[in-house]
Amino acid sequence: MSLLYSTSRLYRSITLALAGVIGFSAQAQQQVPEQQVDERLQVTASTQSVARTTPSALSQLSQQQQAPGLRIDAAELLAGLAGVQTDSRANYAQDTRITLRGFGARSAFGVRGVLLLLDGIPLSMPDGQAQTSSILLDEADNVQVIRGPLATLYGNAAGGVIDWRSRSPEQSKLQVDLLGGANNTARGVVQGDWVSDEQALRLVAARLRTDGPRAQNSAERDQLALRWYRSLGAERELIVRLDDNNAPLLQDPGSLTPAAWAADPEQTFAGASTFNTRKAIRHKQGSLTLRDDNSQLPWHISLWQGSRAVEQYLPFTGADPTSSGAVIDLQRDFRGIDAAVNTFFDVAQPLQASFGVTLSEQQDRRYGYVNNFGERDELRRDEQGDVTNKAAYSLWQWQPADAWQLIAGVRYSQLKFTVTDYYINANSPDDSGSRDNSAWSWNLGVNYQVNEHTNVFVARGRGFETPTLTELAYSAEGSGLNQQLGPAYNQQWETGVKWRYDSWRAQLSLYSINSSDEIVVDQSIDGRTIYINAEQTERRGVEFEQQWQWHEQFDWRVAASYIDARYSNQARLPGVAQKTFYSQLNWYPEFLPIPTTLSLITDYRSNIAANDANSVIAPSHVLWHLAISQDWSWGDIELQPWVKVHNLTDQDYVGSVVVNQGNGRAFEPGVGRELQLGVRMTQRW
């Protein structure tokens, strides 16, 4: 059903709830002028802050600073950001795992523990799960990452926040991207922008086809996106977004045992072929954003609604009468609203406050069938899961003196999970159940400007995370809702230094995180993962990143992270690399007649424990990449060709691990040496 015409019960209740507070605005993470990308940050609600004076570890990066690539993996958009670990599975059926300071490492597929946004619209579901495959990666113009105590203000599952931002059309144009690589990988993107005085329209279509680096690894994906921007006055704007992501075939080659990976990392798990493991996804989403940036009372409101259909074949039969099946058929519907207002107080020292509310809900209709060697067979599961998320939040910013900046925020969240079982017989009892979770999260931070180049800060916060519906689905004892699995809570400290000069910017941050009842993987067997609460985990870490224009022909971007993440018994937290290092050295040779960029990239990741016992370790690796790109122009026509060699030394490496894999298949191979190339053609008028 169209977002504009939705008459759901939730929206009716929202309308009544907001009747007295019309004018609230959501987390206004919208299109920002290019010159402000490195300065302005949407902290939360409608509040903007200057990044260098915000008491938090923040990363902001234009996608133009990233090396060119095929843009089929979210890891391409997050490379070289301190504290961000992206584990590419080279498996289009499972998505990239994204970890921020250890949050999200448990994810068997998709993203957990990290809140994903695109222009302020949540890509994460109300229960905290997200899939990066639903993002049109070409659209992102820049990315902002919030880590540490400040991220707790975003509520459930916000171990960190990744906010991709696009740019509204500025000039009418037609843009075509043609991209290709090894394994018959071909991708095309067509974008048309039409701009008038008061409105702009953008239509994007993308198509991907690939055989993948292994057998049973092919993928097909088609995406459509429509954007409408309408000016309603000098400072008021309406934005409508519609997306359709259709992936009818995403084959799953499966993970490998360490021995199999060492023997041949390009092989495919035998069960993948036997049971024709694969996934099909259809994701649709629409959103409407209305904002007013007037200086007296800026406000913002966003509504979104969508559906996600998933059919997945797992590598076993699931025929046992007590099984939940091995063919997953899921239909998800979701919707929500986020609104806030920002107000300024007429006092001697600058004081501003934001007040906001979030209401969202999710319905999962889930079926499970026997996998008859790649064909759907008898029913083994039939249930509906419902999640309702309600939250209210406030953020205050005060500058008591020129050199001091204080931030304080609080959020109250209430989540309700309900599962209704419709598959009831002698072998399958009624597994219906429900649970309520509510929690306060808060943040307090102080920044001191030492001089015009240096700022120091300290921050403290408390956050929480509930299990997702998928994580509640399986229990170690019997069947049905995992009633033993509850939310996790964390206490965070952070301190840091930020430097800013004309040619050099850097930040150094140290943090400490203590979590109780951490949600971790108990066991993972053939796509079915059971989770439990750990007693306690501790994370201690340090992060450094810099951007240095050390010569007019050279610049250098570096990000380095160290994290010691452990259980209370001192075992390492699986899925988390202790050390990561990224370096991107760009050379702009002046002797060439065409503007040219040569990039040499170094990407290091230390070894990773794959299980709680730390008995399975994925080895460390260093990857080298080399890229060259050029910019040609003839009047209103632009041509931007590029070539990239991924994994220049052809190193065998583990791209990702499957945490606590019960069958021993813990390693997901990375991609070997691969030639990638592309060209962008743009006609402006």
Domains with residue ranges and CATH for the chain: 3-684 (2.40.170.20)
- What whole-number distance in Å separates Cα of residue 668 and Cα of residue 651? 14
C-alpha to C-alpha distances, 459 to 152, 190, 449, nearest whole angstrom: 11, 44, 15
Burial of 161 (0-12, 13-18, 19+ CB in 10 A): buried
Neighbouring residues of 225: CB distance < 8 A, sequence distance ≥ 6: 136, 139, 202, 203, 204, 205, 241, 242, 243, 244
pLDDT tier at 2, thresholds 50, 70, 90: very low
Residue 19, pLDDT above cutoff 50:
no
pLDDT tier at 527, thresholds 50, 70, 90: low
Phi and psi at 536, nearest 5°, equal: -160, 145
Residue 419, pLDDT above cutoff 50:
yes
Q: Are the beta carbons of 631 and 642 closer than 8 angstroms?
A: no
3 state DSSP class of 250: strand
Exposure string over 58-79, b if 16+ CB within 10 A, otherwise e? bbbbebebbbbbbbbbbbbbbb
* Percentage of the chain exceeding pLDDT 70: 91
- What whole-number distance in Å separates Cα of residue 575 and Cα of residue 657? 6
Say whether pTM exceeds 0.85.
yes
Residue 666, pLDDT above cutoff 70:
yes
The arithmetic mean of pLDDT across residues 73-80, rounded, is 90
Of 9-18, 101-110, 457-466, 508-517, minimum mean pLDDT range: 9-18
Of 23-32, 170-179, 495-504, 546-555, minimum mean pLDDT range: 23-32
Neighbours of 566 (CB within 10 A): 18
The arithmetic mean of pLDDT across residues 421-450, rounded, is 90
Residue 458, pLDDT above cutoff 60:
yes
Instruction: Output the pLDDT for position 3.
Output: 36
Residue 605, pLDDT above cutoff 80:
yes
The arithmetic mean of pLDDT across residues 381-403, rounded, is 93
Helix, strand, coil content of the chain in percent (nearest 5)? 10, 55, 35
Encoding tokens for residue 113?
């523990």
3 state DSSP class of 422: coil
The arithmetic mean of pLDDT across residues 226-254, rounded, is 93
Q: Are the beta carbons of 675 and 643 closer than 8 angstroms?
A: yes
The arithmetic mean of pLDDT across residues 213-226, rounded, is 95
Distance from the Cα of residue 316 to its chain's centroid: 30
Residue 317, pLDDT above cutoff 90:
yes
- What whole-number distance in Å separates Cα of residue 34 and Cα of residue 224? 25
The arithmetic mean of pLDDT across residues 39-64, rounded, is 75
The arithmetic mean of pLDDT across residues 105-131, rounded, is 86
Which residues in 34-165 belong to E strands, given as ranges?
40-44, 47-50, 58-62, 84-87, 97-100, 115-118, 121-122, 142-147, 160-165
The arithmetic mean of pLDDT across residues 34-38, rounded, is 42
